[in-house]
């Protein structure tokens, strides 16, 4: 079995490409099962976030699966459009990559904890779709425990520098004092909750939470003394917003250029700061052409993030060393499984040979054959059957001293010489 990672991230692809390769919850189960049904794929998992889409697969030995072709055809995007943004890792390098992802070392915001939760959710979905087997299950559990160890023994998680924190910090840098400002938060998931927390910690006066499900909006708003509205009523309230931060799972833009233009007119062109944390984007990119609009996407946050990472960079070096050791541990387990499978297969072969010869011996005894002759025949036949394949292999390796030496060790011949 060979472990493969194929994907793209904020490091290799712009937002305009990444948003075309997002797998939403509605399509995820079918996508997972479709991936697993690809020739040679025995286990599969898909991680799809705002910053990366990655396929995790175990491939049968001797089989080469065109995962890029599967990705491009499944998402209906030309192969040539994505090929320069795709990376592919196999074996030990692939294991190292997934441990770095789980630990936040490969994130836009170094050390951010959200990615571990997203990885766990992706694993949960794959498990529900029955596309996870022994190897992916073991690798995921190993990744989760390694990420926990790294986070507890280094300062990789010190200082709040999540994407949510960065968005709130940027709002504070642009507006200064937030005590007289109003923010509309579109969405009610984990990222939205983090944004709300950081905005309120920065002294925001008024928070409005908009969501398709009003009940969810009310639940989030209640924790921060905010107001809740349905997304359908958003144009009515947009005029009040000095800050808009959106982070939904919508496949279509929620804020259109015309909607924002109308709000600007009612605000007498007073500036509006908008951060779009969603992938695919919640805000029509053309909105940025409007005067007095400051639109930032998730990729634009990178420069703000860089100033908060000095402590984490030192911790990252320690974490990389820990990951190296963790990878070696996992690879040792993985290789031991190959030996276990060989042992299991050889034992099954021996049992099959024994059962067939034993059945023949019992039939001969029941037919009145001489018991001594039956036993001698059983012993000779069993010996010849079990020695046939090793004998053929030894003859084939006649000129290879290393192979012959290894064969003697495997067969225990040297030990027998020493004992005698």
Q: Do 49 and 115 meet the contact criterion of CB atoms below 8 Å apart?
A: yes
Through-space distance between the first and last CA atoms of the chain, rounded to whole angstroms:
41
Tell me which residue has tokens 């003859």: 395
Distance CA 308, CA 86 (A): 29
Q: Do 260 and 287 meet the contact criterion of CB atoms below 8 Å apart?
A: yes
Would you tell me how many other CB atoms lie within 10 Å of the CB of residue 352? Answer: 11
Distance CA 50, CA 250 (A): 12
Q: Please identify which of the residues 50, 57, 182, 247 carries the catalytic annotation.
A: 50
Instruction: Verify whether residue 57 is a known catalytic residue.
Output: no
Distance CA 56, CA 35 (A): 10
Would you tell me how many other CB atoms lie within 10 Å of the CB of residue 39? Answer: 10
Give catalytic residue positions: 50
């Amino acid at each position: 079995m060979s472990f493969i990672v194929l994907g793209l991230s904020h490091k290799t692809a712009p937002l305009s490409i990444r948003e075309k390769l997002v797998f939403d919850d509605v399509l995820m189960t079918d996508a997972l099962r479709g991936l697993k049904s690809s020739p040679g794929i025995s286990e599969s998992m898909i991680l799809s976030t705002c910053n990366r889409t990655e396929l995790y697969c175990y491939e049968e030995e001797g089989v080469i699966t065109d995962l890029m072709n599967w990705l491009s055809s499944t998402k209906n995007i030309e192969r040539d459009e994505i090929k320069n943004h795709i990376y592919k890792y196999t074996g030990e390098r692939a294991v190292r990559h997934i441990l770095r992802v789980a630990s936040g070392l490969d994130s836009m915001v170094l050390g951010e904890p959200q990615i571990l939760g997203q990885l766990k959710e992706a694993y949960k979905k794959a498990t529900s779709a029955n596309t996870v087997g022994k190897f992916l299950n073991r690798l995921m559990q190993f990744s989760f425990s390694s990420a926990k160890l790294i986070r507890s023994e280094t300062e990789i998680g010190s200082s709040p520098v999540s994407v949510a924190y960065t968005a709130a910090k940027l709002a504070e840098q642009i507006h200064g004092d937030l005590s007289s400002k109003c923010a509309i938060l579109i969405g009610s998931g984990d990222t939205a909750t983090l944004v709300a927390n950081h905005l309120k910690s920065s002294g925001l006066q008024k928070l409005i939470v908009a969501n398709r499900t009003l009940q969810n909006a009310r639940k989030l708003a209640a924790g921060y003394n905010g107001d809740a509205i349905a997304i359908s009523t958003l144009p009515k309230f947009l005029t009040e917003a000095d800050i808009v931060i959106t982070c939904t799972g919508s496949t279509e833009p929620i804020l259109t250029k015309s909607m924002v233009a109308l709000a600007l007119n009612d605000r007498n062109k007073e500036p509006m700061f908008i951060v779009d944390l969603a992938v695919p984007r919640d805000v029509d990119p053309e909105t940025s052409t409007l005067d007095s609009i400051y639109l930032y996407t998730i990729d634009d946050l990178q420069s703000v993030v860089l100033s908060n990472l000095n402590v984490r960079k030192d911790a990252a070096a320690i974490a990389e060393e820990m990951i190296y050791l963790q990878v070696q541990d996992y690879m040792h387990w993985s290789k031991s499984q190959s030996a276990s499978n060989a042992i299991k297969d050889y034992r099954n072969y021996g049992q099959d040979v024994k059962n067939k010869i034993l059945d023949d011996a019992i039939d001969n005894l029941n037919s009145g054959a001489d018991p001594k002759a039956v036993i001698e025949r059983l012993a000779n036949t069993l010996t010849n059957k079990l020695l046939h394949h090793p004998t053929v292999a030894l003859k084939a390796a006649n000129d290879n001293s290393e192979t012959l030496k290894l064969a003697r060790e495997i067969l225990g011949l040297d030990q027998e010489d020493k004992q005698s």
